[in-house]
Amino acid sequence: MALLLFAAPSRVRGARRPARLRSVILGASFVFCLLGCSTSVPDNGQVGSSAASPTGGASGGARLTPEPSGIGGAASGVGGGGVGSAAGGMQGTVPPQPWPYTCSLEQLDPGPSFIRKLTNREYDNSVRDLLGENFQRGWRIVRDVHFEALPTPSSDFPQDSTIGGFDNNAEVVDISVEHASQYLNQAERIAGAVVADPKRRDKVIGCSLEGTARAACLQDFVSRFGRLAYRRPLTVEENSAFLALAQSPGPSPYSGAQLVIEAVLQSPKFLFRHESGTKDPRRPELLRLGGYELASRLAYFLWGTAPDSGLLDRAAAGELEGPVALANTVDLMLNDARAEEGLRSLVQQWLKTDRILQSAPGGPFKNEYGGRWTFELQPKSEEETLRFVSDLIWRDKANFLDLVTASYSIIDWQLASYVYKIPEPSTAALGWVRAELPAGQRSGILTQPSFLVSTGQHQAPAIERGKYIREVLLCETLPQPPPTIPALPEKIRDEGERERLARHRTDPACSACHALLEPLGFGLARYDGIGVYTEDPNVSDAGTLAGFPSPDFVGAPALGQKLRSSPALQQCVVSKVLTYALARTLGSGDVCTRDYLSQAFLASEGSFLELVRALARSEAFTYVRDEQIATR
Amino acid sequence: MNRFKRISRRTLLMGAGATLGLPALDIMQDDRGRFFVNSARAATSPPVRILTWFMPNGVHPSVWHPAQEGTDYELTALLEPLAEFKTDFSVLTGLDANRESILTDGHIVGTGTFANGMPITNLGAGGPSLDQVAAKLKGAETRFASLVLAAGPESTTVQESVSGAVISNISWVAKQQRAPAIRDERVLFSKLFGASGSTAEDAYRAQSRKSVLDLVKSEAVSLSAVVGPADRQKIDAHLSAVRELERSIFSPPTNTDPICAVGPERPAAPLDGVRRAEVMNELLAIALKCDMTRYGSFMVTNGRDCDNESGLCDARNSAVAQALGTSTLPAQHNCHHDGNMPGILGYGRLHVGFFARLLKSLKATPEGNGTVLDNCLIYMGSELGNGGAHDVTNLPLILAGKGGGTVTTGRHVRFGGLPAARLMLSVLQRAGLGVTEFAKQVEPLPGI
């Protein structure tokens, strides 16, 4: 049995500051462009630039307010709802409004909000921060057959189910006796480990439970630990209940504290995040989140973990109330190393970077263009994309929409020589480096192995690649397949993949959806199943982005430019971040917020952090619907 | 309402003298004319167990459907691994999944409705599955209300907007509320027989655990009081989960037979997909025999699994490839779409073979006048009538076990496109659970 470890290398950002806060107020030239600029603009117009069209000119005119749906209005009838239509509810959009507008409190419909159970990942991070649980995220190979995530405290929990791409959807009830049983197992294991290790014990308990100060120490521990675990001060009742448990006699001076830890880790007030909010006279049917509630929301959104003592102190001091104070707190949080891990998790789920690990290591990977592949490249490919996207998030002035156009990547020597076919960087010893890739061959994530390999091992890669671009990068909801489907036609001798799939599309039941998929995926035909590029003149990489204005393109870089200049991609980025932040599928009430955030994103020239900032400070994030009223 | 009028021998003897002259067997029939094997089903009669059992990716109709109906039918290639048990199950064909959802992907629809019969939604199944309905009604009589098992992983989404849970779970507590499966045999061993190497717990430990759980419950009660109605459902679900957990912790195993108390030998290392399916079925049989639970489900894995050309992501692939004498074999899903008949047969027989082992184990244990299997009702099948065409009509379904003598096995019965939910209703009724409606069906399936 081979056991190989791949720890996900964690980048220590130290005190690196994110891009400086940019104002979202636009210059006069931009407004002028919005009103009068109808001349054609190059397809690769810089999004949000004050000099060029904000959205590119492919559709024949600059638009600032994003289109109702990227391609929804096109003859192909794709999706129908554009961004967020995956939610099944977000139809249409608000009419274009003069900039700058906000989705003000008066316009806001925050939609339903649900009590949230900690996801397994959030649970792991929370017990790490609260109780010093030590684990490493990464992968290992099991029995030479498949990759398995390295164990974490939640490894035996029922897996979170993914809805809309994310593990934190709170719309469904997902709590069961299997959960309760595993919560108990971990609570007892962790509490036992904490009191058995003097260093951990002292850190968690914070004072001595032996001797005369015992009573005071127990009280101090209960209120301090309770506050961190419940993410707010304990009520008087809670405090006395936990104190009574802490004081119960046991075999060691620490027995009572051990039971408190066990109880807290199984309490629904730790496992669930409840928000009660307070009435706002301006919108009596809404509730404004209190300081502690907002601190939790922000912490799990930006850091993927519980608020720490400092953040709770800020909440107590009112430093999450009022736009300026809140903005400062959000900036401080983004300056924290935990933000990188938190946003990394968002990206990982959105882009499904771990899909490449679901293929078998050492399998007969489709390798047509003479590259080499080894299973070590699977976790490395995921890491490449995560580092690449992190760079787009955190590098000063980076435009996040380079996601689909960048001619560079962040790679190691093995990816460089096996996949990208470039000489090993001279800095090979340094590990991961930013490298320019061979000219004209590469275009952001569209040509990275994390995407090309996970889709390229399918029997018809063009279909899978088209599907990924539509669903993941453009947030389209594809038409449902017919109830009964014909088999993919057998390959006729000498028939190419294009001809074979074209025969498939002659069936009208299939063509509605497949016309959207493989003609798009064929544009990536120069990349084989392991992501290696070919110059072979016999390979055609002509593709069609059906439903888009001027849909035809040749090759990945042209496709990347087309996507980059499309409002659909930029709206999709916003929708995905919003879906993750709100932990539910989006609905018609979210259009106002989405459009507001889209504009903030555009105005900041594609700054992902600006988008996150605007979201964290938005009314949609700080208010919830009063469910007692809504369900009456 | 239970539609079956059971007349015990005692009732019969106390009855009018006129009946005494009649042969007992003629009288002790249900209202469909079938008699009960064991006429004295009093309080001592063994309980009827209910299982749902799922194998992925459907079948090819030509190798599943028997040509003849009735008892004298010939086993087809995919049913052949069940030859030894031919009299213990019936093959039921011509039953359809619920297709009322706007979602149409066959794997999603077929799996999402498999054991609950309601239209699926993006967020989950449309209603409770029959094993969980039974568990809710009678599950408190055993240590575990139900045992939900799967040998494959929870799926990520097949369609971006659809919950991955829909395709990787068949047990649902309620609409959109899954009963998550235990997917790791080590977790299952611990649940049934305690943590590996655990010693008897001392009195302090038992008492302190009780105090902890009491506090957890009171925290749930106080939280439940301040949340809105939708959220209350979650907190109450947590509260009942804790109560159910307490019951299993504090009610020690009643059966002291070593196989019930400590279980079979635990594997030293994590198992591959094939061995895991075998071991889980063995443990499921033990749990039923030892009356640790009476209801449960098992999934080999979800459909559309191993959806890549290498097909190596699961040990099932190499097991089938080896059996077929080939070095590479596409994943089962691809075999169906490519019409790869040896592959279709290979995977299908492997899965049916897992089921055969479960039947064998249940049949090996005598109980009452028969075996444990005689007191089971196992709803077994797959999500697609035709794996290559994604067709969710004419599902491949088997009803195994005699339900304590309430069903007639050993036959192939063909139906003309009735909802599979009617069979699910029949199962609940034959088990004597007093269910009158299931998945909006009020008419049980005739002729089983």
**Alpha carbon distances (Å) from A30 to A36, A47, A604, A605, B113:** 10, 11, 12, 12, 53
B123, B154, B204: residue with CB nearest A251: B204
Cβ within 8 Å, pair B164-A161: yes
- Compare A630 and A92 and report the one with higher pLDDT: A630
Interface test with A, best of B198, B212, B232 (most A CBs within 10 A): B212
Q: What is the mean pLDDT of chain A?
A: 83
- Pairing label, strands A138-142, A5-7: antiparallel
CA distance B122 to A87: 9
Q: Is B165 on the interface with A (CB under 8 A)?
A: yes
How far does the CA of residue A37 sit from the closest CA of chain B (Å)? Answer: 37
pLDDT attached to residue B202: 78
Q: What are phi and psi of B144, to 5 degrees?
A: -115, 130
A143, A362, A488: residue with CB nearest B272: A143
Cβ within 8 Å, pair A88-B122: yes
How far does the CA of residue A365 sit from the closest CA of chain B (Å)? Answer: 7
Q: Is A161 on the interface with B (CB under 8 A)?
A: yes
User: What residues in A contact B235, CB-CB < 8 Å?
Assistant: 115, 268, 272
End-to-end CA gap in chain B: 18
CA distance A455 to A464: 5
CA dihedral A135, A139, A141, A146 (to 10 degrees): 130
Cβ within 8 Å, pair B219-A267: yes
Q: Is A429 on the interface with B (CB under 8 A)?
A: no
Cβ within 8 Å, pair A1-B269: yes
Q: How many residues does chain B have?
A: 448
**How many CA atoms within 13 Å lie on the side-chain side of A558?**
16
Query: Which of the four pLDDT bands, split at 50, 70 and 90, describes residue A505?
Result: confident
pLDDT value at A42 more than 50: no
Nearest CA in chain B to A472: B160
H or E, element range at B372: none
Sign of the Cα torsion A372, A460, A564, B159 reads negative
Q: Is A252 on the interface with B (CB under 8 A)?
A: no
| A147-166 confidence digits (pLDDT tens) | 888 999 999 999 998 898 99
Cβ within 8 Å, pair A146-B313: yes
> Which residues 341-400 on chain B approach chain A with CB closer than 8 angstroms?
386, 388-392
pLDDT attached to residue A497: 81
Instruction: Write the CB contacts of A14 (distance below 8 Å, at least 6 apart in sequence).
Output: A337
User: What residues in B contact A87, CB-CB < 8 Å?
Assistant: 161
CA distance A263 to A270: 10
> Which residues 122-141 on chain A approach chain B with CB closer than 8 angstroms?
none
Tens of each residue's pLDDT in chain B, 448 residues: 344 444 343 333 333 333 333 333 333 334 443 333 333 344 578 999 999 999 999 999 999 999 999 999 999 999 999 999 999 999 999 999 999 999 999 999 999 999 999 999 999 999 999 999 999 999 999 999 999 999 988 886 778 889 999 999 999 999 999 999 999 999 999 999 987 666 656 788 889 999 999 999 999 999 999 998 889 999 999 999 999 999 998 877 778 888 998 999 999 988 888 999 999 999 999 999 999 999 999 999 999 876 554 444 578 888 999 999 998 788 898 899 888 999 999 999 999 999 999 999 999 999 999 999 999 999 999 999 999 999 999 999 999 999 999 999 999 999 999 999 999 999 999 999 999 999 999 999 998 8
Q: Is B245 on the interface with A (CB under 8 A)?
A: yes
Interface test with A, best of B169, B231, B240 (most A CBs within 10 A): B231
| A101-119 confidence digits (pLDDT tens) | 567 777 888 878 899 999 9
pLDDT attached to residue A630: 64
Q: Where do we find the tokens 């117009």?
A: A45
In this structure, the number of other CB atoms found within 10 A of the CB of residue A414 comes to 15
Could you give the percent of chain A with pLDDT greater than 90? Answer: 62
Q: Is B215 on the interface with A (CB under 8 A)?
A: yes
Q: What angle do CA A48, A53, A56 make, to 5 degrees?
A: 100
CA distance B110 to A74: 32
Mean pLDDT of A429-434: 81
Mean pLDDT of A75-85: 31
The per-residue b/e assignment along B86-104, b for 16 or more CB within 10 angstroms, e otherwise, is bebbbbbbbbbbbbebebb
DSSP A470: I
Q: Which residues pair with A408 in a beta bridge?
A: A436
Give the DSSP per-residue string, A300-338.
Answer: IIIISS---HHHHHHHHTTTTSSHHHHHHHHHHHHTSHH
Mean pLDDT of A319-327: 92
Q: What are phi and psi of A602, to 5 degrees?
A: -60, -45
A–B CB contacts, 8 A cutoff, strictly below = 246
Nearest CA in chain B to A626: B228
**Alpha carbon distances (Å) from A442 to A472, A533, B320, B359:** 19, 9, 40, 56
A86, A164, A176: residue with CB nearest B241: A176
Cβ within 8 Å, pair B105-A481: yes
Cα maximum dimension of chain B: 73
How far does the CA of residue B2 sit from the closest CA of chain A (Å)? Answer: 30
- Pairing label, strands A146-149, B370-371: unpaired
Nearest CA in chain A to B333: A459
Which of B426, B428, B411, B415 is closest to B74 using CA atoms?
Answer: B411
Least confident residue range of A9-18, A30-39, A386-395, A428-437: A30-39
Cβ within 8 Å, pair B231-A158: no
Contacts for A191-200: CB closer than 8 Å, 24+ residues apart: A191/A258, A191/A259, A191/A261, A191/A262, A191/A265, A192/A258, A193/A133, A194/A131, A194/A132, A194/A258, A194/A261, A195/A252, A195/A254, A195/A255, A195/A257, A195/A258, A200/A131, A200/A132
Q: Are B117 and B436 in contact (CB under 8 A)?
A: no
Instruction: Look up residue A391 and give its two tokens.
Output: 């760079």
A157: left (phi over 0), alpha (psi -120 to 50) or beta: beta
Q: Are A337 and A12 in contact (CB under 8 A)?
A: yes
| Interface ipTM above 0.95 | no
Interface test with A, best of B166, B242, B297, B391 (most A CBs within 10 A): B242
User: What residues in B contact A143, CB-CB < 8 Å?
Assistant: 272
Query: Which of the four pLDDT bands, split at 50, 70 and 90, describes residue A19?
Result: very low
Mean pLDDT of A30-38: 28
- Cβ-based burial of A1 (10 A; exposed 0-12, middle 13-18, buried ≥19): exposed
- Compare A480 and A91 and report the one with higher pLDDT: A480
A245, A457, A485: residue with CB nearest B215: A245
Q: Are A453 and A365 in contact (CB under 8 A)?
A: yes
Nearest CA in chain A to B315: A145
H or E, element range at A116: strand A116-117
CA distance B226 to B223: 6
Instruction: Write the CB contacts of B1 (distance below 8 Å, at least 6 apart in sequence).
Output: B434, B436
> Which residues 254-293 on chain B approach chain A with CB closer than 8 angstroms?
269-270, 272
How far does the CA of residue A394 sit from the closest CA of chain B (Å)? Answer: 27
In this structure, the number of other CB atoms found within 10 A of the CB of residue B171 comes to 31
User: What residues in B contact A156, CB-CB < 8 Å?
Assistant: 184, 187
Mean pLDDT of A384-410: 97
- Compare A493 and A438 and report the one with higher pLDDT: A438
> Which residues 130-159 on chain B approach chain A with CB closer than 8 angstroms?
145, 148, 153-154, 156-157, 159
User: What residues in A contact B315, CB-CB < 8 Å?
Assistant: 145
CA distance A363 to A373: 10
Determine the distance from the C-alpha atom of residue B332 to the mean position of all C-alpha atoms in its chain, rounded to a whole number. 22
Least confident residue range of A422-426, A447-451, B121-125: A422-426
Q: Is B338 on the interface with A (CB under 8 A)?
A: yes
Q: Is B236 on the interface with A (CB under 8 A)?
A: no
CA distance A201 to A196: 7
3-state SS track over A371-425: CCCCCCHHHHHHHHHHHHHHHHHHCCCCCHHHHHCCCEEEECHHHHHHCCCCCCC
> Which residues 475-514 on chain A approach chain B with CB closer than 8 angstroms?
477-478, 480-488, 490
CA distance B221 to B235: 8
> Which residues 314-333 on chain B approach chain A with CB closer than 8 angstroms?
314-315, 328, 330
Can you point out the beta strands (E) in A460-615?
542-544, 552-554
User: What residues in A contact B124, CB-CB < 8 Å?
Assistant: 172
B105, B177, B270: residue with CB nearest A480: B105
- Cβ-based burial of A631 (10 A; exposed 0-12, middle 13-18, buried ≥19): exposed
Q: Determine if the peptide bond prior to A98 is cis (ω within 30°).
A: no
Map residue A258 onto helix, strand or coil.
helix
Rg (chain B; Cα; Å): 22
User: What residues in B contact A255, CB-CB < 8 Å?
Assistant: 208
pLDDT value at A83 more than 80: no
Cβ within 8 Å, pair A360-B122: no
| A247-260 confidence digits (pLDDT tens) | 999 999 999 999 99
Q: Is B96 on the interface with A (CB under 8 A)?
A: no
User: What residues in A contact B97, CB-CB < 8 Å?
Assistant: none
Q: Is B223 on the interface with A (CB under 8 A)?
A: yes
User: What residues in B contact A272, CB-CB < 8 Å?
Assistant: 223, 234-235, 238
pLDDT attached to residue A488: 62
Query: Which of the four pLDDT bands, split at 50, 70 and 90, describes residue A85?
Result: very low
Rg (chain A; Cα; Å): 26
Map residue A362 onto helix, strand or coil.
coil
pLDDT attached to residue A571: 95
CA distance A422 to B373: 64
CA distance A263 to B216: 6
- Pairing label, strands B370-371, B366-367: antiparallel
Cβ within 8 Å, pair A459-B270: no
B153, B190, B272: residue with CB nearest A145: B272
